[in-house]
Structure 1
Amino acid sequence: MSTPENTAPPTLEEFLALAPEGNGALNDKMGVEVTEFSPERMVATMPVEGNTQPYGLLHGGASVVLAETLGSLGSALHAYPDRIAVGVDINATHHRAATSGTVTGVATPLHLGRSMAAWQIEITDDQGRRVCTSRITCALIPAQRD
């Protein structure tokens, strides 16, 4: 992480307060709740209800939103305070359907560099079964100051 030595990383609340839209309208709409926020691991939950496709299954795009939220937050925390993270690539493999309950995404870094960060996100259902595996790469660019 690029924060100066002896400086603790910001809390989730402090970090989101720096963003123009806080948690983000899409995350609010989809019910994404970040439960763990650290440079080494990000965790969030999302309800299946309200995030389904016409057959009543968790929408694959909803899984990708959860994954991108976690990977982008992790990348942004790593880049803080001098740089910001912008997504350049994301992929997802959908392993099984979820029809109810909550899914949980756990993101761990694959690479944390000066100009790029990559994270793997594993999404599981309430029974701990893997629903989706995703990988995101973010470019870390200079923060623009006014």
Structure 2
Amino acid sequence: MDGNHTRTGRLAGVPGDYDDEIGAARVPEHLRDWLADVGVGALVAKLGIVFEELSAERSVATMPVAGNTQVVGLLHGGASAALAETLGSFAATLHAGPGRIAVGVDLNATHHRAASEGMVRGVCTAIQLGRNVTSHEIVISDSAGRRVCTARITNLLRDTPAPQTRPETEGA
């Protein structure tokens, strides 16, 4: 365990219990300890993203169309982009390994068709898994298996930053 973690595995100074959030997203059991410190992220929970598979080479998740639509009732392109970035960033972070993080530096998405109901499913496949850069392609399909969106994300891999501490002030 690195110096940023307490004996229980929680990040020092990070409040909260993310068991419910991790469970609702159906994070695979073998990855729950990895996310116990930080959860899956507020946006993942708000969008209703549910993971089916998570690895550096391939990650899969679903997301409901309902609740993630734009004003005319179609799946919002930003929701598709968020699903794609979530899958690609999680996959890149798994590839990076302990003590490292993935930082998205490029995301592009082409929207092929509208989705207005049901679920969409994103399948993220590694294009390149390098020491410092990863690229993944994400194909998002509707409930009928028709391609809704194709995205590509590039992530930069970096060492986890040291926690910021406040300097002591005299007389405090």
TM-score when normalising by structure 1: 0.89
Q: Is the 8 A contact 1:34 1:43 kept in 2?
A: yes
The residue number in structure 2 matching 1:101 is 118
Two-structure CA RMSD over aligned residues (Å): 1.2
Q: Which has the higher contact order (CA 8 A, sep 6+)?
A: 1
Larger radius of gyration, structure 1 or 2? 2
The residue number in structure 1 matching 2:105 is 88
The residue number in structure 2 matching 1:35 is 52
| Alignment counterpart, residue 53 of structure 1, candidates 59, 63, 70 | 70
Matched, 1:12 2:31: yes
Superposition deviation, residue 123 in structure 1: 0.2
State the secondary structure of the residue aligned to 2:66: coil
| Alignment counterpart, residue 147 of structure 2, candidates 121, 127, 130 | 130
Q: Is the 8 A contact 2:56 2:93 kept in 1?
A: no
State the secondary structure of the residue aligned to 2:53: strand
The residue number in structure 2 matching 1:4 is none
Superposition deviation, residue 75 in structure 1: 0.2
Superposition deviation, residue 145 in structure 1: 4.4
Q: Between the two proteins, what is the percent identity of the paired residues?
A: 58
Which ranges in structure 2 are unaligned for 5 or more consecutive residues? 1-28, 164-172
Q: Give distance in 1, aligned partners of 2:128 and 2:85.
A: 16
2:73 partner letter: G
Residues 37-72 of structure 1, C-alpha deviation per residue, up to 9 Å, x if partnerless? 122210000000000001100000000000000000
Residues 49-104 of structure 1, C-alpha deviation per residue, up to 9 Å, x if partnerless? 00000110000000000000000000000001131101001000000000000000
Superposition deviation, residue 12 in structure 1: 2.6
Question: Across the two proteins, how many residue pairs are aligned to each other?
Answer: 135
Matched, 1:70 2:87: yes
State the secondary structure of the residue aligned to 1:98: coil
Q: Is the 8 A contact 2:110 2:150 kept in 1?
A: yes
More strand by share: 1
Q: Is the 8 A contact 1:11 1:37 kept in 2?
A: no
Which ranges in structure 1 are unaligned for 5 or more consecutive residues? 1-9
Superposition deviation, residue 15 in structure 1: 2.1
2:33 partner letter: E
